[in-house]
Amino acid sequence: MSVGLVIRLIVLALLVAFLVSPQTFVFVFRPLVRAGQPVIYNQGSLIDLTLNHLAIVGTAMVLATALAVGLAILVTRPFGAEFLALSRSLANIGQTFPPVAVLALAVPVLGFGTAPTLVALFLYGLLPIFENTLTGLTNLPPTVTEAARGMGMTGRQRLMRVELPLALPVILAGIRLSTVIALATATIGSTVAARTLGEVIIAGLLSRNTAFVAQGGIIVGILAVLIYDGLSAIERMLMRRTGQAGRQA
């Protein structure tokens, strides 16, 4: 077991311990508060907020992945090539409007709560996944695709058995980027009453309690690093399995 993996497991264990029993870590955050202020966030359950935060991000990423990958597959087929510009414009919508602007536009239609945050994260996550999927599907080794055709595979068979498996590491890299961005961006959802870790940060800012801000920021930061590393490990494993690691090296 590598040193890096051991460190990550220790960090994960400490994060879980903090979420389950935050009062155990009072000594860590006490120097950050003024006299009379609570040391640990006391306006809700940290573990509930964390799980809800992850659920919102996970749902948005599943929806963004489904649409972005579907669009990339469509425009890389002969019958869908003419829709490339339109698909790219659609994927760019989330990057054109800042998440805060999307929230402001979505609230009058969807109301306060989780829904506007899901829309903002969904739109913001489309572009990296779409572009990576497009890159993965259009940069396949010609010899492999020609061999698949020579074996008599149909277009659907080539897509499912050859193209997507080979493109999967590149697709996963886009999902990894979108997920990490969404983890941080989801905190602004609390400004429209979504239950995310942004509640902790906002409460700290409003009460000038630095410990609350630190707690929310640290949880989000650790989650982002661990998820990034986890998806990177899966990506490397897929590259080894498809024989792409040696080629890139």
Residue 35 included in any domain: no
Residue 21 included in any domain: no
Residue 118 included in any domain: yes
pLDDT at 17: 96
pTM of the model: 0.90
Could you give the CA distance from residue 246 to residue 200 in angstroms, rounded to a whole number?
A: 45
Tell the burial category of 121 from Cβ atoms under 10 Å away from its Cβ (0-12, 13-18, 19+).
Answer: buried
Per-residue pLDDT tens digits for 105-123: 889 988 898 999 999 999 9
- Look at residue 55 and give its three-state secondary structure: helix
Dihedrals φ, ψ of 57, to 5°? Answer: -65, -45
Could you give the CA distance from residue 103 to residue 120 in angstroms, rounded to a whole number?
A: 6
pLDDT at 1: 65
Per-residue pLDDT tens digits for 128-142: 999 999 999 998 888
Residue 76 included in any domain: yes
Residue 10 included in any domain: no
- Structural domain range at position 115: 46-248
Nearest to 132, CA basis, from 169, 170, 91: 170
HSE value, Cβ hemisphere, 13 Å, CA-based, for 64: 35
The letter for the amino acid at 47 is: I
User: What's the domain count of the chain?
Assistant: 1
Q: For each of the chain's 249 residues, which pLDDT tens digit applies?
A: 678 789 999 999 999 999 999 999 999 999 999 888 999 999 989 999 999 999 999 999 999 999 999 999 999 988 888 888 888 888 888 788 788 888 888 899 888 989 999 999 999 999 999 999 999 999 888 888 788 788 878 878 888 888 898 899 999 999 999 999 999 999 999 989 899 999 999 999 999 999 999 999 999 999 999 999 999 988 888 888 766 655 543
CATH classification at residue 122: 1.10.3720.10
Residue 181 included in any domain: yes
Residue 22 included in any domain: no
- Look at residue 50 and give its three-state secondary structure: helix
Could you give the CA distance from residue 122 to residue 60 in angstroms, rounded to a whole number?
A: 5
Residue 32 included in any domain: no
